[in-house]
Amino acid sequence: MSEGAIGIFDSGLGGLTAVKELVKVLPHEDIIYFGDTARVPYGNRSKKTIIRYAEQDACFLLSKGVKMIIAACGTVSSVAVDLKDELPVPFTGVVVPTAQAAVKATKNGRIGVIGTSATVNSGSYKNEILRADRGIKVFQQDCPLFVSLVENSFISADDEIVKLVVRRYLEGLKNEGIDTLILGCTHFPIISQAISDYLGDGVTLIDSGRETALYAAGLLEKNKLLSMDEGKGSCRYYVSDTVEDFKRTAEIFLGKSVGNEVSHINLEQAVIH
């Protein structure tokens, strides 16, 4: 039994895909979300910078007394691989749970992976898939513009710009005959309808937010940290840039108002002690 909240962070809005799923899987848990909206995107930055940002994000959540941390960010999960060892609480990223789900889902052994440039260059999902099954063929594509589309509220499947960018990035993977696609950046499920419209019903999309929420629930249980509270958990959001833009897109995406639960913070000074 534990009183603390679950801490989740991402560079911006993407981690809300994990929040949305976590609320379904663990309705009694309190959640504290941090979106580093002042410094998004992370995916085209250096390894050193991504690690520093990830440490500061985690440090902020620790200062809120969280009992577990989820890096709901494909980029951080792929690049800041040692973060887990620096933290005093259980931690998970998105790569392991998502890759495992994709291996289970594929029938023809051809899996596509899309993510930020840092994620794709790290080969994180590919390595994890091949660790599970060396016979699988993995096709990767970085899609950095998807992050900007989402952060700027271009998320409708009917939007011509969204459709155009989806086609430009995914044409190659479609031609490779993949039957499973890992949405390896947590921003991408927000435009999953447009992705699925383009690829068709024959391709299963693996949502890193969903898979990570399920994995995190298992991790809490294993560490005996599940809340024994029967009531509905609360969600509190923190962002490093203005709250207004975050609120607007978060509400569209979560399907409910995040109202007064969003606050601005400055974490430039944060360091893990």
Q: Is 235 a catalytic residue?
A: no
Q: Residues 80 to 109: which contact ligand DGL by CB under 6 A? A: none
Residue 189 binds to ligand DGL (criterion: CB under 6 A): no
CB of 87 to ligand DGL, least distance (A): 19
Q: Report how far residue 134's alpha carbon sits from residue 114's, in angstroms, rounded to the nearest whole number.
A: 19
Contacts of 21 by beta carbon, 8 Å cutoff, 6+ apart? 207, 209, 210, 212, 213, 214
The residue among 35 and 225 lying less far from ligand DGL, judged by its C-beta, is 35
CB of 148 to ligand DGL, least distance (A): 9
Residue 227 binds to ligand DGL (criterion: CB under 6 A): no
Task: Single out the residue of 6, 18, 73, 267 in contact with ligand DGL (rule: CB under 6 A).
Answer: 73
Tokens in use for 217?
């629930």
CB of 166 to ligand DGL, least distance (A): 17
Q: Residues 9 to 38: which contact ligand DGL by CB under 6 A? A: 10-11, 14
Residue 119 binds to ligand DGL (criterion: CB under 6 A): yes
Which of 201, 203, 208 is closest to 183 using CA atoms? 208
The residue among 2 and 237 lying less far from ligand DGL, judged by its C-beta, is 237
List C-alpha distances in Å: 157 to 28, 153, 191: 32, 12, 7
Contacts of 182 by beta carbon, 8 Å cutoff, 6+ apart? 98, 99, 102, 111, 112, 113, 114, 115, 125, 206, 208
CB of 231 to ligand DGL, least distance (A): 30
Task: Single out the residue of 7, 35, 43, 189 in contact with ligand DGL (rule: CB under 6 A).
Answer: 43
Closest residue to ligand DGL using C-beta atoms: 43
Is 17:213 a contact under the CB 8 Å cutoff? no
Task: Single out the residue of 143, 147, 149, 182 in contact with ligand DGL (rule: CB under 6 A).
Answer: 147
Is 173:182 a contact under the CB 8 Å cutoff? no
Q: Report how far residue 26's alpha carbon sits from residue 47's, in angstroms, rounded to the nearest whole number.
A: 33
Task: Single out the residue of 8, 26, 32, 40 in contact with ligand DGL (rule: CB under 6 A).
Answer: 40
221 alpha-carbon distance from chain centroid: 21
Residue 212 binds to ligand DGL (criterion: CB under 6 A): no
Task: Single out the residue of 7, 35, 74, 189 in contact with ligand DGL (rule: CB under 6 A).
Answer: 74
Secondary structure of residue 183 in the 3-state scheme:
strand
Is 235:23 a contact under the CB 8 Å cutoff? yes
Binding site for ligand DGL (CB under 6 A): 10-11, 14, 40-43, 73-75, 115-116, 119, 147, 185-187
For the annotated catalytic residues, the residue numbers are: 73, 185
